[in-house]
Structure 1
Amino acid sequence: MASLGPLGIVGQLFLDSFVEHERHRFNDLNQPENQDKRFEPEFLLEDRHFSSTRSTARMPLPAVYGAVYATATSSAPAGKIDSGKKAMRHLENLPLLVASDSLESMSTDGKWLPRFMRRAVVRSVANRIAGLILVGTSAFLASCIATLVKDDAFKLSTVETLFWRSLVSWLLTLAAIAATGVKMRVKKEFQRPLLLRCFTGCIALTLTVLVIQKLEVSNATAITYLSPLLAFAMAAFFLKEKPGAFTLACSALCVVGAVQVVRPAFVFGKNGSTDAKWYRRSMTSFVTSYLFGESLAIGCAVVTVVMQAGAYVSLRSLQKVPHLVVMNYFLLTMTLVSLIAILVVQHGKFKAGLSVETWGAILGTGALAFAEQLFLTRGFQFDGAGVLAATRLLHVGYEFVWGVALLGTALNPWSASGAAATAAGVLFLALRRVHTHWAARRSMRRMLQ
């Protein structure tokens, strides 16, 4: 050990102590009273409500080998694990576990390490990009919901679809809370951010579904995609999150790509935009007329941008509150607001038929909405508000792909390149985090040599 030098000796001592700690921890996890902990990665066990950046910063560099402990593959004795808790853990961590297993299968580095440490290295990479993975999965599910609603077989009105989707997802959230035993009490310091999350998120979703998507004005839709830029500014002011230049550049690329997909009229002209047909609609309806409809849509889009950014920042500030609790209050608020909208728009009359197909669609979209909110709320516990708001724009590219593949939408080169640009922006963000991880690991190995 003397040949290593002072820094090498310190690093070796850190590594030896860490390996000893992990050996004792592995033995502890095999004790009957700790069997339920074996089914969850370590970065979800230590503290479920802090960002991955801060969790890594608290550990010595050699602990990067064990930043995330491998999940156990063997089953526990009967009766030792509550099935509801285990099921929810598997569901909410599914994107992270799939990503880490995929990375492990492609990884050729570190073969000299024992298997449990090699898997820990790979899972620590997934930990660095956990927020991107979860929010990206949420965007994918959101695009699936939007595509299902656009299908001609879906016979419900927009406002009724929003109500049933919110109600089913809220009921599933209550079931998850009952299964996991999460306490519903919210500390006083988090009550105001939770209220803002419910208020801003509800307004943003209502305006998006009932006005902007209904009128389909490309200029208004493009404006709503600027919310990540405002989220960066609000997060820097309220949460003191200061992103780097590379992060801002990648997020801006995501925004530009999303705007390019929708092809707004102020850039591509009336004939080249996605709302070319909208300008030739009948003028009999005052709301959908050119004189009033576009002004209404753009005004709602501006409000939506502010509300979306506020929802992202407030959601990020709730990272220490159990995500199921945040989901419960938000979905409850959304259910009540959409019910009021039905009373106003449809005079309290539900138009949902009793066919199996209709109720199957209701339950399906509700289940997807539950999973979408689960991954979205969970993801904002790991990374900054602006970065994840930009990642959320992946749903624009996903919707374009589904439209071309399933709904017969014409393949436009500009929209295709915009979807690719959005995906590239998120990919660059992930690669930067992975590169930082491996650079720190290589530096530690050189120090120990």
Structure 2
Amino acid sequence: MSNDNLAIVLRVVSGLLFAGMIACVKLASSSAPTGQIVFYRSAFALLPLVAFLVVTREFPSGLYTKKPLGHLLRCLTGCVAMFCSFATLSYLPVAEATILSYLSPVLVAILAGVFLKENVTIVRWVGIACGIVGTLVLIVPQLTGEVTEGYATGVLLGILTAILTAFAIIQIRNLTKTENAGAIAFYFALVCTIAGLATAPFGWVQTSPTEFAILVGAGIFGGFAHIAVTISFKHAEASKLAPFDYLSLIWAVGVGLLVFNELPGASFYFALPFILGGAMLVAFRESFRRHMPR
């Protein structure tokens, strides 16, 4: 398997794992405050991350870094994005919260060209554009109706999450040039654990065994997801992987339907061809060009 194809597979797998994490976070948000969820999600994510480093024989040596300030900036940006993302889930259904996150791939493609000097090809731009059209088809019908204060708050938090996530992804891509993939995810989880713990004085709740298991599940899913996504960025350019973020809509809809009984409206089915088409265009068109006889 080529590096590009491996990166694509890892990105899709990470989307599935993140869907599991989102389900746990959404379930927990009905009873636990955001800071407490961030703590559990991050603290228990450290378990698979450390196991990953041990298996690859990179613990503790793999935690050595040449760019401590780069890690700090990535961690702070990603940590604020996590708080905003989890807060968004407390205001919006899973599918709609996921929809807003699709703004980040567009920003990633632009930022990758500006800061990382990556070659954003026409094929990639078309793929990203298709995803954006699909996103608009999904979200515009919701915004044209009567908007409640809670929905508006969720939309604003979702947009802020997308902006911060895009910057975090660019920072990850830059760090993977010299830093260990597991270390990037480890330091992020560690900083978020500390940040989440710092919110304890502001009011945490006593969790039941079921609620505790859900919070732990968020951490386990999130830990494995971060390993997959971080390694994927090591094998392919951020702008090429951006369109595959749209596939997470399928997983989000599945979570919403199976766990929260949220059935997608008609706009979802109109948007689906654009979203899937954008991802497949990049995957198959560029693969075809690489294998064309010269």
TM-score (norm. length: structure 1): 0.58
Partner in structure 2 of residue 235 of structure 1: 112
SS across alignment from 2:198: helix
CA deviation vs aligned residue, 1:50-81 (integer Å, no higher than 9, x gap):
xxxxxxxxxxxxxxxxxxxxxxxxxxxxxxxx
Distance 1:168 1:373, change over 3 A: same
- Match of residue 71, structure 2, among 184, 188, 194: 194
Distance 1:416 1:149, change over 3 A: farther
1:129 and 2:5 aligned: yes
Distance 1:259 1:193, change over 3 A: farther
The answer to whether the 8 A contact 2:47-2:220 is kept is no
Partner in structure 2 of residue 379 of structure 1: 232
Partner in structure 2 of residue 226 of structure 1: 103
One-letter amino acid of the counterpart of residue 167, structure 2: G
Partner in structure 1 of residue 161 of structure 2: 304
Distance 1:371 1:166, change over 3 A: same
Structure 1 distance, partners of 2:141, 2:264, is 16
Distance 1:384 1:179, change over 3 A: closer
CA deviation vs aligned residue, 1:154-199 (integer Å, no higher than 9, x gap):
8644442332111100133223323433121111xx3333222112
- Match of residue 247, structure 2, among 394, 397, 400: 394
Structure with the higher fraction of residues in helix conformation: 2
Cα displacement (A) at 1:302: 4.4
Distance 1:350 1:150, change over 3 A: closer
1:351 and 2:226 aligned: no
The answer to whether the 8 A contact 1:137-1:375 is kept is yes
One-letter amino acid of the counterpart of residue 170, structure 2: V
Structure 2 distance, partners of 1:397, 1:259, is 16
Partner in structure 1 of residue 198 of structure 2: 340
User: What are the equivalent positions in structure 2 for 1:14-93 lying under 5 Å apart?
Assistant: none
Partner in structure 2 of residue 270 of structure 1: 145
Partner in structure 2 of residue 161 of structure 1: 37
- Match of residue 206, structure 1, among 66, 83, 99: 83
Gap runs ≥5 in structure 2: none
Structure 2 distance, partners of 1:219, 1:430, is 26
Distance 1:152 1:239, change over 3 A: closer
> How many matched pairs?
289
Gap runs ≥5 in structure 1: 1-122, 280-289, 444-449
Distance 1:205 1:352, change over 3 A: same
The answer to whether the 8 A contact 1:261-1:419 is kept is no
Cα displacement (A) at 1:329: 0.5
CA deviation vs aligned residue, 1:36-58 (integer Å, no higher than 9, x gap):
xxxxxxxxxxxxxxxxxxxxxxx
Distance 1:164 1:407, change over 3 A: same
1:185 and 2:61 aligned: no
One-letter amino acid of the counterpart of residue 361, structure 1: I
Question: Relative contact order (alpha carbons < 8 A, sep ≥ 6): 1 or 2 greater?
Answer: 2
SS across alignment from 2:234: coil
Structure 1 distance, partners of 2:286, 2:237, is 13
Partner in structure 2 of residue 258 of structure 1: 135
Cα displacement (A) at 1:209: 0.9
Instruction: Tell me which stretches of 4 or more aligned residues in structure 1 moved more than 6 Å.
Output: 217-221
TM-score (norm. length: structure 2): 0.85
